[in-house]
Structure 1
Amino acid sequence: MAEQTKDRGVVGGLLDRASGAVSQVAAAGALIVAFIALSFVAPSFLTADNLFNLGSQTSVNAVMAVGVTLVIITGGIDLSVGSVAALSGVLGVMLMADFGFNPLIGVLGGIAVGAIAGLINGLLVSVVGLPPFIATLGMLSVGRGLVLIFTGAVAVFGAPESFRLLGQGVIGVIPIPIVLIAVVAVAGHLVLTRTRLGRYAYVMGSNMEAARLSGVPVRKYTTSVYVLSGALAGLGGMIAASRINSGQPNFGEGLELDVIAAVVIGGASLFGGRGTVVGSLIGAFLVAVIRNGAVQLDISTFYQNVLIGVIIWLAVWWDRYQRRKLTGDAG
């Protein structure tokens, strides 16, 4: 009986990974179709300026999606990434504009702000015992409130021109934001596949109680994934601030929708235990192409939000459908 249970578990794991792979392939196919279609219906879509802008836009979501992927794999959620990115961007610019620090210190300061916000989220979840939804929803409100308190709802200007390089510079012909996507993606992939944090993240997402009983330091690693998510939200906020060389207090409103959509579209399960960096990047580019194409076609952001929401519904429904098939639950 034990052997049969073990075999079913192994088969279930293989099928679950196969389901995730199918989701990634479907997302990649949708991305290719959307890209080709927009190339025909929107003449300005394939221009160098628009593609550069698309890459820069995607970099913010993609970098943040890597962090959110880690959280979702553990069975958590981070609804605060938009407001944390705004807070990080504003405070990072203030370090440069008001206190005279160089851009490197400003960027590192912004990332540190995000990491501190992530640490608070992680402690609220792992130590206080709040559900991730509630903990990060609270941080969403706290972060947005702090942005308005620090800025008085007024944009922060005065960062040095060299700060623009982070979001607008190029290395040869490759935009720096694209380089940042590659660096963060490789680092995130290595964390998930080659480190104890990555292995434990999947274990905790599959069965938190079993992970705890197996000796996994659940509190430590749960807090760690939220810290990483916050730090990458901070980096995303600094990239966005660099693009316009200012800290905008209204930045990131609703951004968590696009980031979570990217991760789910890319095959991650909101129920935990499944997800990859590659899948999340595919999802981030698909969301960015949809947004960019809608602008090219003069489609209102209202309709864009409806479309992204419907895509999230479909992705979660697909995940639940696959899980029912794996467990044999027809309910």
Structure 2
Amino acid sequence: MNTTAIRKLPQEASILMVLVGIAALFEILGWIFIGQSFLANSKRLVIIVLQVSIIGIIAVGVTQVIITSGIDLSGGSVAALSAMVAASFAQASGGFSIFYPGIVDLPVIVPLLVGIGVGLLAGSINGAITAYTGVPPFIPTLGMLVAARGLAVLYAEGQPIFGLTEQYTAIGQGINPVLIFLGVALLFHVLLKHTVYGRRTYAIGSNEEAARIVGIKVNRHKVLVYAIAGGLAGLAGIVMSARATMGQPGMGFMYELDAISAAVIGGTSLFGGKGKISGTVIGVFILGVITSGFTFLRIDFYYQEIAKGMIIVAAVIADQRRQARKA
């Protein structure tokens, strides 16, 4: 009877148990090796939440792409490009950008719309190439990863963009990044679970040909999903630059891989048709706890990357075995 109960545990509960187990492990290791508590430091826990929020916004978009049996490798670079463009429109009077001379302070809605618009455009390009050419999605999104990073450097000739308005930088201060992340996660959790958009997204990932047969405009929907992922990367770039109080072309480096990792760890299947935003949110926090835990134990950065890689491989192997059992 207990075995049956365990089998019926929701996937999110299982992933949450992993999160609790990892946090408990770092707590034990902390007392053994450095004589300190990992969990008792409330400041550390707040930092974890703040650090993962930007990656989490990107991960919400990436999760939807993966559900369609696609992939998006460009999230971090698109976030950097959006951060640069949005920051240039958020400069206080006297600043300068290619398109806006900074004569007067623009309303904060302007850099918000511009930054998200850049992301939407990049995502739409990814989606259009993927949907209408038949090219595997990792190719156009890999190209966008390189191109967007290059454009971010070119936009301000490799220089950071300073002097942002207080209204803009307020977006990234305090608990605001966390609220934005959780708000985005809640919105798309509802959309995926309770709307036609969600049903079509899962249908395409489960069986694209069957989705076409029942009348779903697969190509158009793919473009929409990739555009949303790009728009969320743009939003992440805005939050990132607002938190740093500047735009910098090196921002968001490797964030796309962390976002994909969070989605996979959270139970999103790389085979498509399966995944939940709630699982991705937990996956984001697992990555945050691992990174913070290794830093807490004074373990070098490259060991953190090795551990993340091993966790991703383990999650993919587990997903493959689940798919094999279903078959």
Looking at secondary structure, tell me which structure has more helix per residue. Answer: 1
Name the aligned partner's letter for residue 164 of structure 1: T
Task: Pick from 134, 158, 161 the counterpart of residue 163 of structure 2.
Answer: 158
Q: Which residue of 2 aligns with 1:25?
A: 13
Distance change in 2, residues 1:190/1:316 (3 Å): same
Q: Which residue of 2 aligns with 1:49?
A: 43
Q: Which residue of 2 aligns with 1:120?
A: 125
Normalising by structure 1, report the TM-score.
Answer: 0.87
Q: Distance in 1 between matches of 2:15 and 2:63?
A: 16
Over residues 154-182 of structure 1, what are the superposed CA-to-partner deviations in whole Å (9 max), with x where a residue is unaligned? 2111101332321213xxxxx12221122
Cα distance, 1:240 vs structure 2: 1.3
Q: Which residue of 2 aligns with 1:214?
A: 214
- SS of equivalent to 1:308: helix
Distance change in 2, residues 1:255/1:20 (3 Å): farther
| 5+ long unaligned stretches in structure 2 | 1-6, 31-35, 97-101
- SS of equivalent to 1:152: coil
CA contact (8 A) 1:111 1:231 kept: yes
Output aligned runs, 1:51-200, within 5 Å: 51-97=45-91, 98=96, 99=102, 100-169=105-174, 175-200=175-200
Q: Distance in 1 between matches of 2:300 and 2:139?
A: 31
Q: Which residue of 2 aligns with 1:325?
A: 325
Q: Distance in 2 between matches of 1:19 and 1:272?
A: 22
Name the aligned partner's letter for residue 31 of structure 1: L
CA contact (8 A) 1:115 1:228 kept: yes
Q: Distance in 2 between matches of 1:35 and 1:207?
A: 38
Q: Which residue of 2 aligns with 1:13?
A: none
CA contact (8 A) 2:26 2:38 kept: no
CA contact (8 A) 1:19 1:322 kept: no
More off after superposition, 29-38 vs 64-73:
29-38
CA contact (8 A) 2:38 2:293 kept: no
Q: Distance in 1 between matches of 2:146 and 2:10?
A: 35
Over residues 86-124 of structure 1, what are the superposed CA-to-partner deviations in whole Å (9 max), with x where a residue is unaligned? 111111101112334233321222111111111111111
Q: Which residue of 1 aligns with 2:4?
A: none
Cα distance, 1:290 vs structure 2: 0.9
Cα distance, 1:36 vs structure 2: 3.1
Q: Which residue of 2 aligns with 1:205?
A: 205
More off after superposition, 196-205 vs 288-297:
288-297
Cα distance, 1:21 vs structure 2: 4.0
CA contact (8 A) 1:88 1:111 kept: yes
Cα distance, 1:276 vs structure 2: 0.2
| 5+ long unaligned stretches in structure 1 | 1-17, 170-174
Cα distance, 1:193 vs structure 2: 1.2
Q: Distance in 2 between matches of 1:196 and 1:83?
A: 30
CA contact (8 A) 1:56 1:168 kept: no
More off after superposition, 106-115 vs 65-74:
106-115
Q: Which residue of 2 aligns with 1:9?
A: none
CA contact (8 A) 2:78 2:233 kept: yes
CA contact (8 A) 1:62 1:259 kept: yes
Q: Distance in 1 between matches of 2:220 and 2:261?
A: 27
- SS of equivalent to 1:51: helix
Task: State the aligned residue count.
Answer: 304
Q: Distance in 1 between matches of 2:150 and 2:37?
A: 41
Q: Which residue of 1 aligns with 2:304?
A: 304
Q: Which residue of 1 aligns with 2:26?
A: 38
Name the aligned partner's letter for residue 92 of structure 1: A
Normalising by structure 2, report the TM-score.
Answer: 0.88
Distance change in 2, residues 1:105/1:208 (3 Å): same
Identity %, equivalent residues: 38
Cα distance, 1:44 vs structure 2: 6.4
- SS of equivalent to 1:264: helix
Distance change in 2, residues 1:21/1:139 (3 Å): farther
Name the aligned partner's letter for residue 319 of structure 2: D
CA contact (8 A) 2:128 2:223 kept: yes
